[in-house]
Amino acid sequence: MKIKSYAALAAGQALELYEYEAGALGAEEVEVEVEYCGVCHSDLSMIDNEWGISQFPTIAGHEVIGRVAALGEAAQTKGLKIGQRVGIGWTAKSCQHCDACINGEQVNCQQGSTPTILNHGGFAEKLRADWQWVIPLPESLDAASAGPLLCGGITVFKPLLMSNITATSRVGVIGIGGLGHIAIKILRAMGAEVVAFSSTPAKKQSILDMGADEVVNSRDPEALKALAGRFDLIISTVAVDLDWQPYFNALAPQGKFHTVGAVMKPFQVSAFDLIMGDKAITGSSTGSPGQLRSLLKLASRRDIAPKVEFFPMSKINDALDHVRAGKADFRVVLKADF
């Protein structure tokens, strides 16, 4: 079985039309015909081999919406049907038998899970993943815009689950881009108080329209100072180093500062920032299949749709340049047109 894709043949190169031999479908695998695939910053990091784990050719793409095209022998009895609409996110495979997998924490598989990109990703006409990671899409969810929920969305949903966020919680979100804007929409749907920290004043009105109670200019030290002691949880989605101290100060007693942004520079925090008020600094990556299913159901029930702009997949290099230049209107989604 040959599959057409758009691949980077070497680090940092423009993608090229590339056909690969996928071999026989594994027993646990599901083959999905791609309809839409979101563009995440991790795709760029993998194409550029920023984390040193890429293998070339690299076929990125891990915010996939599509239809089940084939089911491996063992996957045939797992509730998925040919033609069913599904989503695939960051992870394609996990061992199914380690303690983490048995506990429903497959994203932290102790045998090492396989990312979708290293398994051949969704910038392609088809891709494959083990059945647990092929997430049924609720009927009423808008398929065209749902892709970013599978990576960007779950990445900001998981900290809300970890911190038991409820309607009485006060949450801050740093960086209102692809991930942050979905966080605002989810928190709004959950009824929590949500304050957005953005360095782009031009985005203020659209962030308020998404449901933020307040938008604070993150470049204004006085505005940050005024928020001391306010938040139960602050989620940082930015991948750049900031002056974090005002955000630590903005935590309420027992508050958590939680990063999902891959900041390369270590955080500097004094022991007293954590000791006084029982505070914590935490982090997480994406989510497990159960959490992905919960998020899609919530999104369907409460109309949580990422704000996206579309490119045909044949214009994928234009789309990647658009994201690299920071011009994305929150998130870019590619529509497959092979």
Residue nearer to Zn ion on the CB measure, 135 or 224: 135
Residue nearer to Zn ion on the CB measure, 60 or 251: 60
Residue nearer to Zn ion on the CB measure, 39 or 165: 39
Shortest distance, position 209 Cβ to Zn ion, whole Å: 25
Shortest distance, position 280 Cβ to Zn ion, whole Å: 25
Shortest distance, position 114 Cβ to Zn ion, whole Å: 11
Helical H segments across the chain, by residue range:
41-47, 99-102, 143-146, 152-162, 180-190, 204-210, 221-225, 245-249, 271-275, 289-301, 316-324
Residue nearer to Zn ion on the CB measure, 141 or 151: 151
Rounded to whole angstroms, the Cα distance separating 321 from 326 reads 9
Residue nearer to Zn ion on the CB measure, 246 or 306: 306
Rounded to whole angstroms, the Cα distance separating 261 from 241 reads 10
Rounded to whole angstroms, the Cα distance separating 238 from 236 reads 6
Rounded to whole angstroms, the Cα distance separating 230 from 44 reads 35
DSSP assignment string, 27-73: TTEEEEEEEEEEE-HHHHHHHTTTTS---SSB-----EEEEEEEE-T
- Give residue 271's Cα distance to chain centre: 31
Torsion of CA 151, 153, 155, 161, to 10 degrees: -140
Asked if residue 95 lies in contact with residue 136, where contact means CB atoms within 8 angstroms, the answer is no
Asked if residue 99 lies in contact with residue 110, where contact means CB atoms within 8 angstroms, the answer is yes
Shortest distance, position 102 Cβ to Zn ion, whole Å: 8
Rounded to whole angstroms, the Cα distance separating 22 from 224 reads 52
Shortest distance, position 186 Cβ to Zn ion, whole Å: 16
Residue nearer to Zn ion on the CB measure, 11 or 98: 98
Shortest distance, position 100 Cβ to Zn ion, whole Å: 5
Residues that bind Zn ion (CB under 5 A): 40, 42, 94-95, 98, 101, 109, 111, 151
Shortest distance, position 46 Cβ to Zn ion, whole Å: 9
Residue nearer to Zn ion on the CB measure, 89 or 246: 89
